[in-house]
Chains A and B, each alone.
Chain A
Amino acid sequence: MAEPLLLLGAAAIAALAGLAWLALAMEVHWAQVHGLRARATPARLRTAGAAALALSFALCLGADHVSMAVLVWLMLLAGSALAIAMMLSTRPQWLRWLWLAR
């Protein structure tokens, strides 16, 4: 088994990316990040987001016993959602590179 700290770090990054993609799938947040540039297909962003969240859960499972992994994952989601909401409100340009506009 890999180092739990690395796995959990990766899980946190995956959760952040997943929630950011889910946010970008919404018109308002896409506009906050990319302005008037053409929107990417929301369905694709949503799929990417869901996949990243699933990956995040898998990484949590790799680090801990399943009962603990569920708690860690749910709390990581809460923290990441807050972080993304704050980024969208103060530094939306940071999310630009996550899904480049054409």
Chain B
Amino acid sequence: MFQSFRLCMAWLHTWFGLMLGFVLMVVFFFGALSVFDREIDRWALPESRFQPQPMPSFDRVLRPAFERMQPSKDDIALLDGRVHGPLPERFDTVRHWGAYTTHRDPVVAVFAGYEVPKAKDPEETVWASHALDPRDGRVLPEGRLRISSQFFYPLHYSLTLNWKDLGTWIVGFSALMMLAALVSGVVMHRKIFREFFTFRRDKSVQRSALDLHNLTGVVALPFHFFFAFTGLVIFAGLYFPVAHTQLRSLHELSEKIEARETGLPHERAGVAAPLASVDAMVAEAQRRWAARGMAGEVGYLGVQHVGDANAYVSVYRAGTDRVALTGEGIHFKASTGELLREDPPRTAVDSVNEFLTGLHLQHFRHWLLRWLYVLGGLLGCVCIATGFIFFVEKRKQQHAKVGSPGSRVVDALAVATVTGMLIATTAMLVANRLLSEALPDKGDWEKTVFWSAWALALLHAFARNGAVALGRRSPAWREQCLLAAAGAVAAVVANAVTTGDHLGRTLADGYWPVAGVDLSLLAMAAIALLAARRLGRVGQRTAARGTPAAIAGASNG
């Protein structure tokens, strides 16, 4: 079919790159934002703008909060069809309490899992989760969206298409094809070393776009490769669900054997028992970590089989000093505080897995590396965007001649994916600041604004790109750059006006989460404006050169 291996690779790279590039653009961009998800959350939830706190006292703060929790109506509604008879109103048997925090979180994420009475699947669990202010145990109001960790982050790995995990499958397939695109890209690119530092910005758009595509693809190759690969590793359990399908009975057995080996009960005993002081258990765990020379901040605190004689408490370390996602968990009997188990050192396979997951999920404390990850993500975006531009530039004259709509459609989709995504994001941030705090379901409105802005950007891109059919550049690029810049500035201004945390104050106080988001928005606005100015100048030059042949071609088509 193909004359050579290289041509075959070129075909694979072009067409899969084009189809999945739209998905990967979203994955890269929102992945880059997710590196600073906690900081963007601070920006979006002004009442959570205070310094990160250590895990609060369980006995005084967390326990009363847990005891007040119940699943939300939405979570109960998800059980529809999964229970015999009507949906239960209250859930009294607690399977699990968990509290999670990091060195970047002022608020603690608390969640509780409840047994579902009369469930068709006896393992059915319904969850309740909140963000909790560790200073006073107050839970933050419902309906408020932690924009980055609850929306941008899920967009990054699932496109928020939750139906049958479809989005996660699409992202996984794209990641797999991205690995193929990286390999085929290297095969296609003959002069990978000779042109390593090459960016000819004064040549044709097609040439400089290809230079930039190669440059960003090659310099960040290790980053792209490792992130696509580790992303697949993280979701391996979903992509190969053998443990819960073919091996289901084995899985149950293995859990029981594991419970016997670790001494951590797998089932409830069915006998009620009180809960001893968890703070004392945490202190003991910290003493044991210190004895091993490890930093002793608590990252995760969990109680299993709450209220039962078999209940146990697990304390995990926040492993901020390593890439690997380690916990060095220590487990206690909940009713007495007696030590049940200290997790042994990891096996080689576990260590590799933890390193790979930790590399991607980044729980470590390292601001430089965080910013370098953002750079890697944005380089990925540049790589994909220039890939689109190259595709269009290479074909548009040809398409204009024969009247094919191909490059016109691709160009509109590229505008919507590149600049439209920025417009949607900034529109969401502006909506977050301008919508009333009293609005119930404020978070849902913010999502609506996001998707609507994006849909409008797509319409605009299609409405304005007739020029591409004439072999010229679509004015939509420039217009959307201007709009994205305006949106970013509007978000910064709206933040200053509605919360009073303008840059003068946040910089003086050194409150970097909010100052950093504001500065990044301003940087984005500056780059978008520069791009718009550049596009304006180039536009004037090419408008004077509209070739008669191209116009004839378009009027035929």
Contacts and interface: CB of A to CB of B under 8 A. Distances in A.
B544 interface: no
A23 B199 CA distance: 13
Contacts of B373: 75
A15 to B, nearest CB: 11
Nearest to B198: A85
Nearest to B351: A67
Contact of B324 (A28, A67, A78): A67
B323 interface: yes
B196 to A, nearest CB: 7
B192 to A, nearest CB: 12
Contacts of B199: 85-86, 88-89
A35 interface: no
Contact of B215 (A28, A64, A65, A82): A82
Interface stretch (B364-372, B475-483, B522-530): B364-372
A52 to B, nearest CB: 15
Of B223, B359, B369, B379, most buried by chain A (CB within 10 Å of CB) is: B369
Nearest to A75: B372
B197 A84 contact: yes
A24 to B, nearest CB: 10
Contacts of A76: 372
Contacts of B196: 23, 81, 85
Interface string B352-389: 00010001000010101100110110010000000000
B442 interface: no
Contacts of A82: 215-216, 219, 379
Interface string A24-49: 00101100000000000000000000
A75 B369 contact: yes
A78 B376 contact: yes
B90 interface: no
B63 interface: no
B144 interface: no
B222 interface: yes
A74 to B, nearest CB: 5
A72 B373 CA distance: 9
Given A78-B222, A82-B215, A71 B369 contact: yes
A19 B215 CA distance: 14
Given A85-B198, A85-B215, A90-B201, A78 B323 contact: no
A88 B200 CA distance: 9
Interface in B312-338: 321-324
Contacts of B197: 19, 23, 26, 29, 81, 84-85, 88
A68 interface: yes
A75 B376 contact: yes
B87 interface: no
Interface residues of A, number: 26
Interface in A59-102: 64-65, 67-68, 71-72, 74-79, 81-82, 84-86, 88-90
A78 B220 contact: yes
Contacts of A19: 197
Interface string B179-202: 000000000000000101111110
Given A84-B197, A86-B199, A74 B323 contact: no
Contact of A89 (B201, B321, B323, B379): B201
Nearest to A84: B197
A8 B359 CA distance: 19
Interface in B23-73: none
B523 to A, nearest CB: 16
A68 B345 CA distance: 20
A67 B222 contact: no
Contacts of B359: 71
Given A29-B197, A75-B375, A65 B222 contact: no
A101 B198 CA distance: 21
Given A78-B375, A81-B196, A88-B197, A72 B223 contact: no
B479 to A, nearest CB: 26
A86 B366 CA distance: 27
A40 B386 CA distance: 35
B364 A81 contact: no
A74 B201 contact: no
Interface in B194-234: 194, 196-201, 215-216, 219-220, 222-223
B322 A74 contact: no
A26 B194 contact: yes
Contacts of B368: 8, 72
Contacts of B355: 67
A72 B322 CA distance: 13
A71 B375 CA distance: 13
B366 A79 contact: no
A68 B200 contact: no
A68 B321 CA distance: 9
A84 B376 CA distance: 16
Nearest to A67: B323
A9 B194 CA distance: 28
B283 to A, nearest CB: 27
B377 to A, nearest CB: 11
A29 B215 CA distance: 15
A53 B233 CA distance: 30
A81 B219 contact: yes
B322 A67 contact: yes
A33 B245 CA distance: 62
Contacts of A26: 194, 197
13 contacts: A8-B368, A28-B198, A64-B366, A68-B322, A68-B369, A75-B223, A75-B369, A78-B222, A78-B375, A79-B375, A85-B199, A85-B219, A88-B197
Interface of B: 194, 196-201, 215-216, 219-220, 222-223, 321-324, 355, 359, 364, 366, 368-369, 372-373, 375-376, 379
Give the 7 A-B residue pairs with the shortest CB-CB distance, closest first: A75-B372, A81-B219, A89-B199, A85-B197, A67-B323, A23-B197, A78-B219
